[in-house]
């Protein structure tokens, strides 16, 4: 008797393991994305999410398991049923969701950067061998909107950003733990996830002007030292040092709007280039002064003239290289 029960248990386990997981069509319609903050790495989201799946022999407990979705990269502030019904052989449920979500900003090319804002949901009750999400392309195709805006409201926009692309992905997230559940023998668990990622490109002209124009003004101020007599070291050095201190103060002001990151952004490279150019003007000032004190006034004046030509070319070349490399 015991042998037969053991064999039946093995067969039942094998049958469950070989059974196809329930496929749940999932879709999303994003109404709003706002309060995008790269310092806190967060944004506010307001969207609809729906699920469609074969109803079969659906029990109340089973329904709770299938529709138990949780945010992966944020927290829900509200999660309300907008519609719920049976349509033919399918069960349909739609939720209105709001909440705060988190993202990892990529600021390497700031202010010419592109940010990706993800909304990631996961079924928290059924493992991937029991249930998997599938992208509900059929519903998007019926909307009649361009594919680049599938899943987005026609009015969705973010201040200072331009919509670039929308990606929807379904994948399995694996956890190397059973979360302390004594009913699970294995240590690893996996759950199905759905992610809608919206890519936005920064409208960079205003930011670029705010950063580049003050730097160019500072460099123009330093450029005046090439037209001062070599003997006026105190005046030339004062102009160069004032420009250098102005650049440092402006760098601190710009950095206050940036999150703590462990790499250089493009605006940092502009400032570093400006520092080096200002140091070159200061070095040139001392070089011409030394030449003048040694009686080589003609060479000092030639160095001033050559520097007056080379300096703007160097500024344009360095700044153009950084912008072109984006």
**pLDDT at res. 2:** 40
CB distance 82 to 97 below 8 Å:
no
Residues 161, 295 within the same domain:
no
Domain count, the chain: 2
**pLDDT at res. 7:** 42
Farthest-apart Cα atoms in the chain, separation: 114
Residue 45 CA neighbour count, 13 Å, CB half: 29
| pLDDT reading at 25 higher than 60 | yes
**pLDDT at res. 96:** 96
Residues 226-234, mean pLDDT to the nearest whole number: 85
Residues 28, 164 within the same domain:
yes
CB distance 55 to 89 below 8 Å:
yes
**pLDDT at res. 216:** 92
Residue where a domain terminates, one of 174, 202, 230? 202
Q: Is residue 1 part of a domain?
A: no
| pLDDT reading at 210 higher than 90 | no
φ, ψ (nearest 5 deg) of residue 116: -110, 120
Own/partner contacts of 220-229, CB < 8 Å, gap of 24 or more, are 221/246, 222/277, 222/278, 222/281, 223/281, 223/308, 223/311, 223/312, 225/281, 225/284, 225/285, 226/281, 226/284, 226/304, 226/305, 226/307, 226/308, 226/311, 227/304, 227/308
Average pLDDT along the chain: 87
Q: How far is CA 5 from CA 2, 12, 17, 171, in A?
A: 5, 10, 18, 37
pLDDT tens readout for residues 149-203: 899 998 888 888 888 889 999 999 998 877 777 777 777 889 999 999 999 998 8
Helices 266-293 and 204-223: crossing angle in degrees, nearest 10, is: 10
At 6, the pLDDT band (50, 70, 90 cuts) reads very low
Question: Taking the CA atoms of the chain, what radius of gyration do you get in angstroms?
Answer: 31
pLDDT tens readout for residues 32-80: 999 999 888 999 999 999 999 998 888 889 999 999 999 999 999 999 9
Domain range enclosing 197:
19-202
Residues 238, 286 within the same domain:
yes
Q: Is residue 9 part of a domain?
A: no
At 207, the pLDDT band (50, 70, 90 cuts) reads confident
Residues 191, 26: Cα–Cα separation, whole Å? 15
Residues 196, 72 within the same domain:
yes
- Tallying the residues shown for the chain, one arrives at 326
Question: Could you give the angle at the alpha carbon of 41 between the alpha carbons of 202 and 158, nearest 5°?
Answer: 35
At 257, the pLDDT band (50, 70, 90 cuts) reads confident
Among residues 161, 34, 20, the alpha carbon closest in space to that of 100 is found at: 34
**pLDDT at res. 45:** 95
Residue where a domain terminates, one of 173, 202, 231? 202
Q: 88: helix, coil or strand?
A: coil
Question: Could you give the angle at the alpha carbon of 16 between the alpha carbons of 10 and 18, nearest 5°?
Answer: 100
Bridge partners of 161?
202
Q: Which are the contacts of 315, defined by CB distance < 8 A and separation ≥ 6?
A: 216, 219, 277
Q: 50: helix, coil or strand?
A: strand
Residues 98, 228 within the same domain:
no
Residues 273, 277: Cα–Cα separation, whole Å? 6
**pLDDT at res. 11:** 40
pLDDT tens readout for residues 263-315: 888 889 999 999 999 999 999 888 888 888 888 888 888 988 898 899 999 99
Residue where a domain terminates, one of 202, 217, 235? 202
Bond into 285 cis (ω within 30): no
φ, ψ (nearest 5 deg) of residue 291: -60, -40
Residues 129, 241 within the same domain:
no
| pLDDT reading at 16 higher than 70 | no
Q: Is residue 120 part of a domain?
A: yes
At 3, the pLDDT band (50, 70, 90 cuts) reads very low
Residues 192, 222 within the same domain:
no
Residues 164, 213 within the same domain:
no
């Amino acid at each position: 008797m015991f042998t037969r029960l053991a064999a039946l248990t093995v067969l039942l386990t094998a049958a469950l393991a070989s059974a196809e997981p329930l496929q749940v069509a999932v879709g999303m319609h994003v109404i709003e994305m706002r309060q995008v903050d790269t310092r806190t790495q967060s944004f506010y989201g307001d969207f609809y999410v729906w699920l469609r799946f074969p109803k079969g022999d659906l029990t109340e407990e089973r329904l709770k398991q299938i529709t138990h979705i949780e945010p992966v990269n944020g927290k829900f502030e509200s999660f309300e049923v907008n519609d719920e019904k049976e349509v033919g052989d399918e069960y349909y449920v739609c939720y209105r969701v709001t909440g705060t979500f988190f993202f990892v900003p990529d600021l390497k090319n700031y202010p010419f950067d592109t940010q990706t804002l993800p909304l990631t949901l996961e079924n928290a009750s059924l493992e991937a061998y029991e249930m998997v999400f599938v992208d509900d392309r059929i519903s998007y195709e019926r909307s009649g909107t361009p594919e680049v805006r599938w899943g987005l409201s026609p009015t969705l926009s973010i201040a200072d950003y331009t919509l670039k692309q929308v990606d929807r992905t379904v994948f399995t997230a694996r956890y190397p733990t059973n979360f302390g559940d004594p009913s699970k023998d294995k240590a690893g668990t996996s759950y199905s996830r759905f992610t809608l990622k919206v890519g936005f490109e920064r409208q960079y002209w205003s930011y670029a002007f705010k950063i580049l124009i003050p730097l160019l003004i500072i460099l123009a101020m330093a450029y005046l030292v090439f037209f001062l007599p070599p003997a006026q070291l105190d005046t030339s050095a004062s102009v160069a040092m004032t420009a250098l201190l102005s650049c440092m103060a402006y760098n601190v002001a710009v950095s206050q709007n940036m999150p703590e990151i462990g790499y250089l952004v493009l605006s940092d490279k502009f400032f570093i280039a400006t520092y080096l150019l200002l140091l070159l003007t200061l070095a040139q000032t001392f070089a011409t002064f030394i030449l003048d004190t040694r009686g080589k006034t003609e060479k000092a004046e030639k160095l001033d003239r050559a520097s007056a030509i080379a300096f703007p070319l160097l500024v344009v070349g360095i700044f153009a290289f950084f912008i072109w490399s984006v």
